[in-house]
Amino acid sequence: MRAVVQRVSSAQVTVDNSIIGQINQGFVVLLGIHQEDTIADVQYLVKKITQLRVFEDADGKMNDSLAAIHGGILSISQFTLYAQTKKGNRPSFVAAARPEVAEPLYEAFNQALREQNIPVATGMFGAHMQVSLVNDGPVTIIYDTRENETK
């Protein structure tokens, strides 16, 4: 799994001109699922994201986690994170999981976050979405579970 995690002061996702998910302070997580990903990838990523300390504490240091600031997550599925761009000008998405594999893992990811008492708003899997956000900092962190040797 690849996750682009952006610290935001607010964010929302729109489908067909209707807001279907929004948060105030927290993270926007753009989540790409690889064809070989499993529930172990979900568990690893949820742990990393929920324990990520990039919010300012009382001393102005990036030391607080999402739970500490009572933040939320706007979770967006994004298969294009597995674009292969080495050859030519048209990306290949063959490494991205097919919808029948990706959607259950995306749902498991969101459920696992909720089980950590994190409020989660979502986009619509497979839909054309417009995501608006105010990147706070900016702070953007990228995780790739395929690069993790200890999951």
Catalytic residue numbers, as ranges:
78-80
Look at residue 123 and give its three-state secondary structure: coil
Residues of the chain by 3-state class (helix, strand, coil), percent to 5:
25, 40, 35
Separation between Cα atoms, residue 129 and residue 139, nearest integer Å: 22
**Do 56 and 63 touch, CB atoms closer than 8 A?**
yes
Separation between Cα atoms, residue 113 and residue 49, nearest integer Å: 9
Separation between Cα atoms, residue 44 and residue 114, nearest integer Å: 15
Longest dimension (CA), the chain: 49
Separation between Cα atoms, residue 45 and residue 27, nearest integer Å: 14
